[in-house]
Amino acid sequence: MERLQNCRRQNDDNALADAVDAINSYDLILFLEPDVKFVQDGGRSEEIHRDRMRYSNQIKEILRTHNKNFVCISGDYQNRYLEAVKKVKKLFENP
């Protein structure tokens, strides 16, 4: 029974990802890797905090299966900002 519930949950997750994908279009997605210190601000999930890499990898897999153009950005906040600006500028230079 648990296996069936997990299968249904996976199908629901896939259907949600497909629905979100169908109504959104982006030229580029900037994916920020979970390599900075986690800050609990009262609204963040402790479950996600415990397994940030697994959830990060799941999101990247969804992006791949939906053929989304995304780049991964990591490092401290300053490096992330500089890399994001560079990627966006490049997008405008090469339409």
Cα separation, 57 vs 90, whole angstroms: 26
pLDDT band of 10, cuts 50, 70, 90: low
Q: Which of 42-51, 54-63, 73-82 has the weakest average pLDDT?
A: 42-51
Residue 54 has pLDDT above 60, yes or no: yes
Contact in structure between 31 and 69 (CB atoms under 8 Å): no
Tell me, what's the pLDDT at 66? Answer: 87
Tell me, what's the pLDDT at 22? Answer: 82
pLDDT band of 5, cuts 50, 70, 90: very low
Residue 50 has pLDDT above 50, yes or no: yes
